[in-house]
Amino acid sequence: MDRARSGPTPVIAEPSPLVCAGIRWSQSLTALSLGLVWPLLDLAIRLWFGFRLLPVEMMMPLGPLLGLLLAAGFLTQPVAAVTIWYCVTAAVGFAGHAAEIALLIWLTVAGASALSLDRAFAAGARSIALPGVDRVGGWLRGLTALGAPVLLLLMRLLAVLILLAIVRPELGDWTAFLRGGWPPAAVGPALLWFLLASAVLLALGLATRIAALAAGLTLLALSGPAVAGPVLLLAVLAFRGGGHFTLDGWIAGRIAARYPHLFSPPDWDDPRLPHVVIVGAGFGGLSAAKALRQSPCRVTLIDRRNYHLFQPLLYQVATAGLSPADIAMPVRAVFRDQANVRVLLGRVTGVDRAARRVLIGEREVPYDYLILATGARHSYFGKDAWEPLAPGLKKIDDATSIRRRILLAFERAEDCDDPEERAAWLTFVVIGGGPTGVEIAGALVELAHHGLAGDFRRADPTRARVVLVEGGPRTLGAFTESLSAYSRRALEGLGVEIRVGTRVEEIDEAGVVAGGERIPARTVVWGAGVIASPAHKWLGAEHDRAGRVVVGPDLSVPGAPEVFVIGDTCLSTAWNGNPVPGLAPAAKQGGAYAARVIHNRIVGRRPPTPFRYRHQGSLATIGRQAAVVDFGRFRLKGAIAWWFWGLVHVFFLIGTRNRMSVMLEWFWAYLTFRRGTRLITGSEG
């Protein structure tokens, strides 16, 4: 365990913000091109060869067979090598074009990318029970590792010659081999100089991607598919880059040698780096840790659970719409590729500000900077005895417990002989008319009236009664009055009974007393209020009645500039002088801002301007084809708001698997009215 620093944290040099921004933009574009565009381009190249080979010599099956294998990306490297031989010996139409041959050599050396059968079968192929497979695979991987950089250099030089041959066809007949199908003397004076400049940049390997992309788009615009070979060759350079032997690589190497953290996350085991401890793996904590990816620091992320939970969809788990795995992502998987982040599983019990240590039971974790993103829990306004009877919804355990209570209520009603008792089991009370309460009430009605309809013989789920109790004057009080009124009409249209301006006076096992009226109900869900985590007790800091720590303009704790509090745990007036709401976007903005403050301190840069919360809108779904969206001047309601709500929530889910799973579940439920996770799990205690 490293020791807390006794003095100020050392400053680590970094270039100007403009240079840093340029490097990060370049890295982002490179990652996008390699991760998303390149697999599509590689597939396009293989399909292009495949379609050209399919009609060749139909009496001899070798041409079509090679075309099919290349298009599918199966045994790509040996097939591409055979294709070169076949095209040259069989005098196929494109055999005399330099760009096409270069592309086939590239497939021979580099193989196919992600969208291929080779990649799909790679893991199983390595362990296949055939002699020599491992050795052949090793040879092919070695060919790629050693040959790809050299081939990129040769392809770059070939691209230069092709551009020169296109702009100067009078150089001789040999230029036809390079030009392919390009018509001679087809370039005007302005484009002539543009292509010459691109050729010079490609020859130097300077701004290689931009030069190749610009030249390729120009040729495509001038000739269309006539020069597909040269255009695809330039596209390879645009999205794969020029390789190691470029001025781009030399410049990047010089910068990386001086500022290594800008090009790869620092190693967590480097004790010279400042230590940032983040408590809480919610929206704010994850946002802060991700924002420190390229900062010269070590990050320790502590949470008592090993997953990040997408809380806005937790109510769907509680009402059997989704499974817990659909809205949760293991934290370690999120940071698998971020080497400067270490994840610790543990429950924080305190903070020693004087010694700069976070306490996890008897264990101590030193820090140079601390970010507390510990969220909030349910508040029963001094009636904590109600918690076992009316569970709230903050954790997966809460959601599965509520789901169990709801589904068991229908089972108990089915087995009940007393009509009044059955009615009590089929009555559900939701306390709180905010987004959580509204969403649960609407989902409960849909589950009862559609999802469970026809499943029971004695108890009729369609006769279930859902009562929404709100102490304020209207539902969705944070929204405009018109949207609030729409939400009430939509809920009542579904069959929800709404009691506004009604205080809950008592909750017991038999039901709820609200506004002097007893409502017999065996299932009660709490969504009326929250209270912040005990972070203010750990810090001994000023706080409000809800336990939120009062923070300064930079989200740090007054008197402890190295400690930051974000999300539901803090009280910040950065929303035009108003308290920042306890929403996921607010937590994410706060996490990113705190990370920027810490980064600027580490590299000796001026602190950013005070934190300003930018409200991105409020959304709430009510039921099928009914939702409200409030972006200030821009408001939606009804079906279009419902679709918008769904798209936004799918987009902000973490992980492609989760996004696909949620979309499939919703699509199935939309078409069939069925919910697929109606499992009663857990003990009866």
Cite the active site residues. Answer: 439
Residue 22: how many other CB atoms lie within 10 Å = 12
DSSP output for 615-678: ---EEEEEETTEEEEE-SS-EEESHHHHHHHHHHHHHHSSSHHHHHHHHHHHHHHHHH---S--
Please count the helices (runs of H) and the strands (runs of E) in the chain: 24, 25
User: Which residues is 152 bridged to in the sheet?
Assistant: none
Residue 582 is given by DSSP the state S
Residue 133: how many other CB atoms lie within 10 Å = 13
Of the candidates 630, 639, 643, the one whose C-alpha atom is nearest the C-alpha of residue 483 is 630
Count how many residues are written for the chain. 685
Of the candidates 523, 507, 295, the one whose C-alpha atom is nearest the C-alpha of residue 408 is 523
Query: Buried b / exposed e across 522-534, counting CB within 10 Å, b at 16+?
Result: bbbbbbbbbbbbb
Coil/strand/helix, residue 496? coil
Q: Which helix (H) or strand (E) holds 307?
A: strand 307-309
389 contacts 509 by C-beta, under 8 angstroms: yes
Q: Which ranges in 518-638 belong to alpha helices (H)?
A: 535-539, 584-602
Of the candidates 267, 265, 269, 289, the one whose C-alpha atom is nearest the C-alpha of residue 277 is 289
The Cα-based distances of 534 to 382, 386, 559, 586, 682 in angstroms read 16, 20, 19, 20, 29
Sheet holding 465-470, edge to edge: 497-500, 465-470, 427-431, 523-526
- Residue 49 CA to residue 45 CA, distance in Å, equals 6
What is the identity of the amino acid at 82? Answer: V
Of the candidates 222, 155, 142, 211, the one whose C-alpha atom is nearest the C-alpha of residue 182 is 222
Q: Which helix (H) or strand (E) holds 142?
A: helix 133-167
Question: And the tokens for 415?
Answer: 């087995």
Question: And the tokens for 8?
Answer: 């100020």
What is the identity of the amino acid at 499? Answer: R
Of the candidates 622, 292, 281, the one whose C-alpha atom is nearest the C-alpha of residue 475 is 622
Of the candidates 430, 422, 510, 524, the one whose C-alpha atom is nearest the C-alpha of residue 470 is 430
- Residue 520 CA to residue 509 CA, distance in Å, equals 9
Residue 320: how many other CB atoms lie within 10 Å = 24
Q: At what angle do helices 76-89 and 38-53 cross, to 10 degrees?
A: 40
Cβ-in-10-Å burial (0-12, 13-18, 19+) of 647 comes to: exposed
- Residue 288 CA to residue 373 CA, distance in Å, equals 9
- Residue 653 CA to residue 661 CA, distance in Å, equals 11
Contacts of 263 (CB under 8 A, 6+ apart): 23, 27, 252, 255, 256
Residue 606: how many other CB atoms lie within 10 Å = 8
